[in-house]
Structure 1
C-alpha cells in the first residue's frame, strides 16, 4: 500500500505526541492535534490499523507498529528538513515555517529532500530543536528537562521549544529565549503557576503554558 497524505499526517502526529513524553496518544488528543472531528479520526484510525500502521483498541490509546513508526520517522524527517531549509535559505522566521512545511513535505521526492539535507550539512535538529531523523531512521534526542519541572537553581541551554503556538514563539524570541540560550530557573511562584527565569542577565516571568513548551539541557 502506498500511504496517503492523510496517513502520513496521522502517523507523524502520533509519533510527535510521544517524542518528548511517554504517554501514548488518545483518539481525542489526536483529533485535537489534527484539528479534526473525533468521528473522522476514529474512522481513519481503523483504516491505519487495518493497514498495519497502528495498534488500537476501542476507547484505548493509539500506538504505532514498527511499520507505522518507520513511516512516521520518514515523514518527520521530511517536515523538519523543510522547516530548516526555509529558515536557513529562504529567510523565514521560526514561527512561519510549520504550515509551509506541511504542504511541501508531501510534494518532494526523496532524492530532492536528501539533496536539500546535504546542502544544509545534514542538520541534526530543526529550528525549534526537534531532532531530525537521519535517512536510515535513527534519531538522537538530547537529554532534557521540561522547564515547568526544572527546580530552582537549574541552569541549562535551551534545547527545544514547542512550535505549536506561533505567537508563543514570537514572545519567546522577544524575551531572548531561543535555542542554545542559557537559562537559569530563579524560582516558581506559588498559586500563579508562573516561573521566573534569568536569561542573559535579565529576569523574565513565564506563564505555565510557556513553561510547558520549553526544554532545557538536563
Structure 2
C-alpha cells in the first residue's frame, strides 16, 4: 500500500520542480491560445478599419489603442514562452475621453446592414472596435481563471482592466456622438431599483484583512 502511494506521488510534477517555460496546464494553454488569437484578430481588423475612419478623434483613439495592444501582445507572448517575468511588465492604459454620459434618446433613422465597405461609418467602426475589446476582456478573464503559471496568470489578470478601459473609451466616444444612446428609467422606478437591497446588520469587518 505504501509502495503504491509512493509511485502515485512520483507521477505528479509539482510546480516548483518544473522548468518555468513548461509550467503550464493544458486548459491554460488552450485558453491562452484562444485569448491571444482573439487579440491578434482584433488588431488585424484595426488595420482594415483605419482606411475607413473619417473622424480624426476616432483615428487617434484607434492608433493609440493599437500601440498599447501591440505591447500587451508582446508581453503576453514573452511570458507564455518563458514562464517568467517579462522584460516589459503590464502597463496601465490611460484613456483621453471623460467620464460624462449623455442620457436620453434622440430620434434616429432605422439602421440596416451596410451593402458595401463605402457605407461603413465611424459609428460602425467604433462598434466593431468595442465588440473586439469586450470579447477580448471575456477571453482574458476565462484564461486568468484557468492559468496555473503564476506570472502568466498575473499578466492576463492585469490586462483585463486595460481592455475594459479601452472599451469604455470607445463607449464614451460613441455616447457623445449619439451612436450609443442611454435611456433611463422613470425616476420613481430608478429609485425603487436603487433601494431594492439593504446592507447587512452588525459588524462584518471582523473577518476582513486590511
Is TM (by shorter chain) over 0.5?
Answer: no
Greater length-normalized contact order (CA 8 Å, ≥ 6 residues apart): 2
TM bucket, shorter chain: under 0.3
| Larger helix percent | 2
TM-score normalized by structure 2?
0.23
TM-score, normalised to structure 1's length?
Answer: 0.22
> Whose strand proportion is higher, 1 or 2?
1
